[in-house]
Amino acid sequence: MRVSPIVFPDPEALGRKLAAEIAVEIENAARAGRPYALGCPGGRTAASTYRALADEVAARGLGLGHVVIVMMDEYVEATPLGSHGREYRAIDSGLPHSCLRFGREEIVGRLNAAAEAGRGIAPERLWGPDPADPEAYDRRIAELGGIDLFLLASGAGDGHIAFNPVGSPADSRTRVVQLGEQTRTDNLATFPTFGGLDDVPRYGVTVGIGTIRAQSKRVVMVAHGGDKGRAAGRLTLAEGYEADWPATVFADCARPRLYLDQAAVTASAALTSP
């Protein structure tokens, strides 16, 4: 299904609108006495939303004890095991480029600072996939009842979503993957603390394409900035999952929305103009 984009003047306006939607859903889940699961990417794309959501938490006096933050991925270190493959383990969560570090500091920490004392998100309600048992993540999410809202982002150069590389199967689940070179290059901008491409890990553990589609009650795909022109074009035209641009899975998800800013739309138009 092709999704008509909603265009905002800038990332801040986009973030405020999306944060207000999330705040209402958090309130409604609290009234219903059930958990609220927010699927989250790390990095730049949803940063304005996280900042604005903290403002909403403070302004509305929201309690967050029922909120679960479900991170999409994490970088992985691989240790060769001779002819028996590799052993995988998540990187140190204290490293600047750790997705779990991002979730702890930039999402949970920010939201808890805005919430009243004792009404924040408990540490055990920040989730991330385990490379030692990645399939357990899908079961854990299913047992929670799925993801109420999955915030999604597209790689600028190759359309990766989370760490799903080009060619990912439509039914793929949480798993360890080798990162594409374009994905690693894109992540140099996401985490400026990398000194160069050689510093970017070559493996990651990620929710799958099938995980996103099957476990989401609704999704919002976000793309903003002039560097996301190509992504904006592909996402606007998507009618379903296209393996050469994995982020197009959003069009196959329940209740999809596409939020762009004017810079991304302008850049997309420039790419297609004669």
In this prediction, residue 222 has a pLDDT band, given cuts at 50, 70 and 90, of very high
pLDDT at 82: 67
Q: Are 46 and 151 in contact (CB under 8 A)?
A: yes
Is a pLDDT exceeding 80 seen at residue 273? no
Q: Which residues contact 13 (CB under 8 A, 6 or more apart)?
A: 261
Alpha-helix runs per DSSP H in the chain:
11-32, 47-60, 99-102, 109-114, 135-144, 181-190, 209-215, 229-237, 262-272
pLDDT at 244: 97
C-alpha distances in Å from residue 148, one per residue of 26, 40, 67: 10, 11, 10
The chain-wide mean pLDDT, for the chain, equals: 95
Q: Which residue has the higher pLDDT, 188 or 232?
A: 232
Q: Are 89 and 133 in contact (CB under 8 A)?
A: no
Where are the chain's structural domains? 5-269
Percent of residues, the chain, with pLDDT higher than 90: 85
- Can you tell me the mean pLDDT for 9-36? 98
Q: Are 265 and 232 in contact (CB under 8 A)?
A: yes
pLDDT in tens, 81-102: 766 678 899 999 999 999 999 9
Which residues share a beta bridge with 6?
259
Identify residue 188 by its one-letter amino acid code: L
The hierarchical CATH code for the domain 5-269 is: 3.40.50.1360
Predicted TM-score of the model (pTM): 0.94
